[in-house]
Amino acid sequence: MAKSKSLSVLLPTVILLLVVNVASFVSQIILRPVFGSVGSSLHHYNGIFCVAFVTCLLTLIGRLSSVHRLTDSLTAVSLVLVLFPIHMRFVFINTARLGPILGPIITQMTLTWPCIFVLSHNISNHVSKWLTSSIRRMWTGPAFIALTIATVLTTIFRVSEQRFFVPYLEPYVGIYWSRFTLLVYLGLVLQSVKILRTRKSLSLVLCIVLIGFVVLMQRDVQQGIGFAQLPLPPEYTYLDRKESVTGILSVIENSEKGYRVLKCDHSLLGGLWNGLKRKELLAQGITVELEERSIDEAETVYSAFVLQEAVRLVRRQKEPERVLLMYVLSFSTDSSGLGVGISAKSFVKFGLDVTAVEIDPVVHQFAEKYFGLPKISAVYQDGRSFIQEQDRKWDFIVHDVFTGGSVPPHLFTSQMWNSCKQALMDDGVIVVVLFFLNH
């Protein structure tokens, strides 16, 4: 009887731990389009550790004893998760002034930190039942216990992200659910636990459930764009926006400067000076197929993509026929690979058979629709597994895995180079894009 009662008390706390763990990871994905992946994760776990430590310490010494009901805790976390897709619009208004370092910290004060506070308080409440009054009056004992709880929680969250959420959850965000609907679902799960635990305050539970369904009915939330699509300056226009497996993809055009770009979350994948080319063609009196020509003949905003075709100048025994374009090759990076297809278009113009390995089909779709990418062979697969499975040989391989801040080291291993060598013709050539900082 005692064991069943103890289990009934601990089980909701375990569920709360799981829900807050997932919400912590999803919160970083939500902040990426605004602050970038580096800024969103830079101090994320430092904040979790500090909030957990302070909360546990104050609870263990009796300063937070008035906050003790688990059902109220479940309701509080549910409200935070369900309402965040609505109120984050107001939180994000000042993101430009806050910057990529302070911005994520302040934003997490309204999402992850309250959840960590509730979770840490409940855990330390269970622990405090085993402490004597003499231990509570001392600072060293509660401080050591609080430090232990905070360290364990932070470690659980870190390991869960790398071992479970990145490989098994993130690839399906944007396919089966958006990053915002996932938060609402987590909030509704906690309300289900509360209903099973107690029949009290059913009116409040039904109210939160109703709010959750209202939020879920919002079209922007369903598409993963959310209420974070803040108004752009008048010279900018959203041509398209969609959430996919690598993040929120946006096609934005600047009518004043005359360019169009493709973004994935906070990373700029590529773009064209199509507006400038359009003005140039109009000045020449050309109006036939103006839009098509302005895109097809426009200069790229990244000249490095065009320079990749210099690989054709390498002297070889025969003319090249096939080229393999490999860009960002796994979900562990923060941007997409094919980009707007500048390199692909360059190789196609010279009659090469182009195969592009791209993890995100929406990137390919947007490149064709808005940047004039011709029909090429596209494979939506992780590049490492693709190149290891293929028996085909390529004349050229373009290995470009720059992710907007660095290159992922696991894609520069000897195993990766051996796989690329086996996929090349005997006199084939590989193009490698490197990035480094000269401190």
Q: 119-164, pLDDT tens digit by residue?
A: 999 898 888 877 766 666 666 788 999 999 999 999 999 999 999 9
Identify the domain boundary among 208, 226, 244.
Answer: 226
Same domain, 69 and 181: yes
What is the pLDDT at residue 336?
A: 36
Q: Say how far apart CA 284 and CA 21 lie, in whole Å.
A: 60
* Judgement on whether residues 204 and 59 belong to the same structural domain of the protein: yes
261 and 205 within one domain: no
Residue 363 maps to a domain: yes
Verify that 241 and 312 share a domain, yes or no: no
**Encoded tokens for 255:** 């009518």
Tokens of 56: 């546990």
Q: Are 239 and 260 in contact (CB under 8 A)?
A: yes
HSE-CB at 156 with a 13 A cutoff on CA atoms is: 17
Q: For residue 412, which amino acid is it?
A: F
Q: What is the pLDDT of residue 347?
A: 85
248 phi and psi, to 5 degrees?
Answer: -85, 120
What distance in Å separates the CA atoms of residue 425 and residue 323, rounded to the nearest whole number? Answer: 11
Is residue 143 in some structural domain? yes
Q: Are residues 18 and 40 in the same domain?
A: yes
Please write the tens of the pLDDT for every residue from 178-188: 888 888 899 88
Whether 19 and 163 share a structural domain: yes
Residue 402: pLDDT band with limits 50, 70, 90: low
Mean pLDDT of 212-240: 73
102 and 221 in a common domain:
yes
My answer on whether 130 and 169 are in the same domain is yes
Q: Does residue 438 form part of some domain?
A: no
pLDDT of residue 227 exceeding 50: no
pLDDT, greater one: 215 or 28: 28
Q: What is the mean pLDDT of the chain?
A: 81
Same domain, yes or no: 222 and 240: no
Same domain, yes or no, for 183 and 272?
no
For the record, the structure tokens of 146 come out as 């609080």
Reported confidence tier of residue 65, pLDDT bands at 50, 70, 90: low
Amino acid at 238: Y
Return the higher-pLDDT residue of 427 and 92: 427
CA distance 150 to 222: 34
Task: Examine residue 321 and state whether it is found in any structural domain, yes or no.
Answer: yes
- Which pair of tokens denotes residue 433? 């894009």
Q: Which of 226, 250, 282 is the last residue of a domain?
A: 226
- Whether residue 301 is contained in a domain is answered as no
DSSP state of 410: G
Q: What's 417's domain CATH number?
A: 3.40.50.150
| Region for residue 305 given its phi and psi (left: phi exceeds 0; alpha: psi -120 to 50; beta: otherwise) | alpha
SS3 348: helix
396 vs 436 pLDDT, higher one = 396
Q: What are the DSSP calls for 223-273, one per residue? A: HT-GGG-PPPPTTEEEEEEEEETTEEEEEEEETTTTEEEEEETTEEEEEE-
In a domain, 302, yes or no: no
Q: How many domains does the chain have?
A: 3
- Cα 420 vs. chain centroid, distance in angstroms? 28
Packed helices 70-91 and 2-42: angle between N→C axes, nearest 10 degrees: 20
Domain that holds residue 269: 236-296
0.85 cut: is pTM over it? no
Evaluate if residue 3 carries a pLDDT over 60.
no
**Distance from C-alpha of 270 to C-alpha of 152, rounded to nearest angstrom:** 42
CB 215 within 8 A of CB 86: yes
Q: Are 165 and 72 in contact (CB under 8 A)?
A: no
Helix (H, G, I), strand (E, B) or coil at 325: strand
Give 74-98 pLDDT, tens digit per residue. Answer: 888 998 999 888 877 777 777 777 7
Helix, strand, coil percent values for the chain (each to nearest 5):
60, 15, 25
User: What number is the average pLDDT over the span 19-44?
Assistant: 88
Among 296, 317, 346, the domain boundary falls at 296
Highest mean pLDDT among 23-27, 342-346, 372-376: 23-27
Give the pLDDT score at 438.
Answer: 52
244: in domain: yes
pLDDT at site 69: 55
- Tell me which of 230 and 397 has the higher pLDDT: 397
pLDDT at 376: 87
Q: Which of 61-75, 219-233, 406-420 has the highest mean pLDDT?
A: 406-420
Mean pLDDT of 346-374: 87
Domain identity same for 151 and 245 = no
Does residue 131 fall inside a structural domain?
yes
Among 120, 247, 115, smallest CA distance to 186 is for 115
| Co-location of 190 and 41 in the same domain | yes
